[in-house]
Amino acid sequence: MMNIVILDGYTENPGDLSWDALKAIGDVVVYDRTPLTDQAEIVRRIGGAQIVLTNKTPLNREVLEACPALEYIGVLATGYNIVDTAAAKAQGIIVTNVPAYGTEAVAQFAIALLLEVCHHIGHHDRAVHSGRWTECPDFCFWDMPLIELSGKTIGIVGFGRIGRTTARIASALGMKVLATDEYPDDSGAAIADYVQLETLLERSDVISLHCPLTPATEGLIRKETIAKMKDGVILINNARGQLIREIDLCEALESGKVAAAGLDVVSTEPIRADNPLLRAKNCIITPHISWASKESRARLMEIAVENVRGFISGAARNVVNP
């Protein structure tokens, strides 16, 4: 049986799932966390394993060259930039990812962020529990404007699986959907109006980011693009933090150009104490948990195990460095 090492298994499985399917394939060692910057420790933990699974633990050229027994890297995520795929290919190491496991969960979370911006449910729940409703002279109160989404326009940047699922939920709320994508097609056109990015920025009441992080999209939301948006626009991002130039968004929130932002991702994670968005008004930030429903993580586990089985059988699937 092959030796399998999981370098950072806790976020995928904090105890509510099981590694048994992998243990049926090989001898498994699970580390909840591995120091991300300690290359010597990463190498030590990999040891003579032929198979390594990682989520956020980086595997660069130096690490790979120090692990000559390694044959396969399974990334427990869709994004795989933490692995030097070119170096892996040069060493004959197959790298796979897990696509499409979290579509429903991430789309649902994007809408949850939007609904929280519109209704401030958490704030009002805390206000009630603090006694303010008990002491209120009226039968109700609200501390900030409440927003109805029906009839408003949502612009979705990146119209793949998650963007389209988000669009369907937004449509069910009565919203008009605009989309921009590098590869528009008829199935997308059936649920949204494709427009150029500039048009989307100008016409949208809500902008939701669902595009991949590439050199072309890094810093997509910045001072120049924010200036093209409607005054009082709402921004949602649970794709990648680096899509936004954070100091520019902070300034737009302070000025009111952007009325509110709902973010599940930031440029550096965990968030740094000096991130300007922590001080920005009307900015909801959650700790990168869009993907983390139990159902979503169970699908991730199932696909990851099938990826390993495919590699062992000689029919590797979801390979990102062919």
52 and 197 belong to one structural domain: no
Give the pLDDT of residue 154: 99
Read off the pTM: 0.95
How many structural domains comprise the chain? 2
Give the pLDDT of residue 75: 98
182 and 272 belong to one structural domain: yes
pLDDT digits (tens, 9 = 90+) for 33-51: 999 999 999 999 999 999 9
Q: How confident is the model at residue 314 (pLDDT cuts 50, 70, 90)?
A: very high
In a domain, 302, yes or no: yes
In a domain, 150, yes or no: yes
295: pLDDT strictly greater than 90:
yes
Percent of the chain at pLDDT > 90 equals 100
CA atoms within 13 A on the CB side of 54: 24
Give the pLDDT of residue 116: 98
In a domain, 166, yes or no: yes
Q: Domain containing 41: what range?
A: 2-100+294-313
What CA–CA distance (Å, rounded) separates 160 from 177?
14
In a domain, 321, yes or no: no
116 and 243 belong to one structural domain: yes
215 and 302 belong to one structural domain: no
**Which of the residues are catalytic?**
240, 269, 288
How would you write the chain as a 3-class SS string? CEEEEECCCCCCCCCCCCCHHHHCCEEEEECCCCCCCCHHHHHHHHCCCCEEEECCCCECHHHHHCCCCCCEEEECCCCCCCECHHHHHHCCCEEECCCCCCHHHHHHHHHHHHHHHHHCHHHHHHHHHCCCCCCCCCCCCCCCCCCCCCCCEEEEECCCHHHHHHHHHHHHCCCEEEEECCCCCHHHHCCCEECCHHHHHHHCCEEEECCCCCCCCCCCECHHHHCCCCCCEEEEECCCHHHECHHHHHHHHHHCCEEEEEECCCCCCCCCCCCHHHHCCCEEECCCCCCCCHHHHHHHHHHHHHHHHHHHHCCCCCECCC
185 and 73 belong to one structural domain: no
**Sign (positive/negative) of CA torsion 53, 59, 61, 66?**
negative
273: pLDDT strictly greater than 90:
yes
281: pLDDT strictly greater than 90:
yes
Average pLDDT of span 240-251: 98
175 and 259 belong to one structural domain: yes
CATH of the domain at 32: 3.40.50.720
The token pair that represents 65 in the structure block: 């060259």
Q: How many CB atoms lie within 10 A of CB 197?
A: 15
Q: How confident is the model at residue 318 (pLDDT cuts 50, 70, 90)?
A: very high
In a domain, 320, yes or no: no
Which amino acid, residue 297?
R
207: pLDDT strictly greater than 90:
yes
Are the C-beta atoms of 318 and 99 separated by less than 8 Å?
Answer: yes
95 and 108 belong to one structural domain: no
Q: How confident is the model at residue 304 (pLDDT cuts 50, 70, 90)?
A: very high
Q: How confident is the model at residue 194 (pLDDT cuts 50, 70, 90)?
A: very high
Mean pLDDT, rounded, of the chain = 98
In a domain, 322, yes or no: no
34 and 156 belong to one structural domain: no
Are the C-beta atoms of 232 and 260 separated by less than 8 Å?
Answer: no
What CA–CA distance (Å, rounded) separates 12 from 163?
23
Distance in angstroms between the alpha carbons of the first and the last residue of the chain: 25
pLDDT digits (tens, 9 = 90+) for 67-105: 999 999 999 999 999 999 999 999 999 999 999 999 999
What is the chain's length? 322
In a domain, 6, yes or no: yes
Which amino acid, residue 227?
A
125 and 211 belong to one structural domain: yes
Give the pLDDT of residue 1: 84
20 and 109 belong to one structural domain: no
What CA–CA distance (Å, rounded) separates 83 from 73?
9
Q: How confident is the model at residue 233 (pLDDT cuts 50, 70, 90)?
A: very high
If you search the block for the tokens 């104490």, which residue do you land on?
Answer: 273
The token pair that represents 146 in the structure block: 């409440």
Tell me how far the alpha carbon of residue 180 is from its chain's centroid.
Answer: 19
153 and 224 belong to one structural domain: yes
67 and 150 belong to one structural domain: no
